Amino acid sequence: MTSGSDEPWATYRHDDAGFAVSLPTGWPVDGEVDGCALVCVEPPSGTPPAYLPPSIVVTVDELPDDEPFDRWLSRFRVSLAEIYNEVRLVDLEDTLLGDVPAYRTLSHYLHAVVGGVCADQWCIPALGRVYVVTCSSGALEYDDFADTFQDVAAGFRLTTP
Amino acid sequence: MNDPPPKLNPDTGLLCLSDAAFGVVEQLAKRGGDLVDAPGLRGQMARLRAVSVLDSEDQIHPSLTSTLAAIRHAETELVLTGTERLARIWVAAPRAALLLPIDDSNLRRLTHLPLWMLPETISRIVGLGPRPRPAGPAVPLSTRGAGDTRSHWTLARIATRPGERDRDASLEIVDTAAGLWVVKPGDDGPMASPSDPTAVWRAIIRLVRPSDTAAQTSQVT
């Protein structure tokens, strides 16, 4: 795994999981978080922010042999109501990241400590897996980071193991 | 007086009241005890005292302190309208106050909420959620047709202080079975441009955020 830092966007490669993603320079990456291939959080600047720092998380699910992706996606979206508190679905979008199909979900949920949170998520089925890129921010800060999150997703690509 | 009496939940600060009673509460919020005399004022004050919104010295009930503070110190006031007024909103970070109609009643519901809850609250009121994504150029609103329209709403920011007229902005949305359209003025009348829930969600956030961080105008495509 490598993370560049000299460019406006740093490329992070996770060769074991078979993906690379572009991340904002200066956002530290943690590749050792249980259950996650990547966790990247905007570093604090000065006083602690009064809102949830924006974050980028990539997880990789093995797609069961007997489960079509459509069914997995339905299950994933239903599970948001179990994972998140008082979730509200704002947007669903079938899109392309490069030439790779991706299925985007924008939701709002209630975080016990910081309040409203927006989660922008792209599910990317490939190679018998589903890569999930989750970009989160405080609800009121979402507009500041939505373009960055879109760029992160657009920079996602599969790598040759 | 034929409007129903106000009702206060002293635990939550939720106040149900008529427009006339709200007029008094708004005056109390914005002018303190220096009320402008108006027809019915004394009667409304008596009704507010009767349900403990005001005490014997006309001090507001403690559960309403946050709500009235948001109205008094609002740096942004918004009005959400559809076929009728849906909500009035006052933003004084980190709080907001909200006045909503109650279905099948001529009472309104006055409450306060954290500012971070406001985009979701507005989205819930207008029913914002996943929609198809229409494509194509902007078209005159008058030619778009109304057959598939689910709702047509406007969230408008009102200047709350002298000299802040330039901060006025509004978001007008036509919500149809085919998707969302944003309406903007055109040379020959209002034009409807294809939009999507994410763009509308972002525009709502820009409108409700305090002025020090909010965009000067709401741009949505």
Tell me the domain boundaries of chain B. 1-72, 116-221
pLDDT in tens, B108-145: 999 999 999 999 999 999 999 999 999 999 999 988 76
**CB contact at 8 A, B200 and A143:** no
Report pLDDT for B146: 63
Distance from CA of B117 to the nearest CA of A (A): 6
Asked if B125 reaches chain A (Cβ–Cβ under 8 Å), the answer is no
Q: Look at residue B213 in the predicted model and tell me its pLDDT.
A: 45
Q: Tell me which chain A residues have a C-beta less than 8 angstroms from the C-beta of B124.
A: 88
pLDDT band at A1 (very low <50, low <70, confident <90, very high): very low
Amino acid at position A3, single letter? S
Smallest Cβ–Cβ distance between B205 and the set A91, A114, A140 belongs to A140
Distance from chain centroid for Cα B5: 23
The pLDDT of residue B212 is: 53
Amino acid, res. B79? V
What gap in Å lies between CA B114 and CA A71, rounded to an integer? 37
Banded model confidence at residue B85, pLDDT cuts 50, 70, 90: confident
Is B133 an interface residue toward A (CB < 8 Å)? Answer: yes
pLDDT over 90 for what percent of chain B?
A: 63
Collect all residues of chain B within an 8 Å Cβ-Cβ radius of residue A92: 130
pLDDT at B215 over 60: no
Q: What is the pTM of this model?
A: 0.90
Domain that holds residue A91: 2-43+50-158
B159 pLDDT more than 80: no
Total number of domains constituting chain A: 1
pLDDT (tens digit per residue) in B5-15: 899 999 999 99
ipTM reported for the complex, 2 dp: 0.91
- Decide if B134 touches A, using CB distance below 8 A: no
Neighbour count for residue B164 (Cβ, 10 Å): 14
User: Do B124 and A88 make contact, defined as CB atoms within 8 angstroms?
Assistant: yes
pLDDT, one tens digit per residue, over A26-47 is 899 988 888 899 999 998 776 6
Q: Which of A90, A116, A142 sits opposite B117 (nearest CB)?
A: A116
Average pLDDT over residues A52-61: 94
Mean pLDDT of A59-70: 92
For residue B4, what pLDDT is reported? 85
Q: Give the model's pLDDT for residue B175.
A: 95
Provide, rounded to the nearest whole percent, the portion of chain A with pLDDT above 90: 71
Greater model confidence, B219 or A61: A61
Q: Which of B95, B120, B220 to mutate to test the interface with A (most CBs of A within 10 A)?
A: B120
- Chain A and chain B share a number of CB contacts under 8 A equal to 61
Q: Do A143 and B120 touch (CB under 8 A)?
A: no
The CATH number of the domain holding residue A152 is: 3.40.1000.10
> In the prediction, which pLDDT does B219 show?
45
pLDDT at B214: 40
Task: Answer whether residue A104 shows pLDDT above 90.
Answer: yes
How big is the CA angle at A13 (ends A10 and A19), to the nearest 5 degrees?
120
Average pLDDT over chain A, rounded to an integer: 89
Task: Give the chain B residue nearest A116 (alpha carbons).
Answer: B116
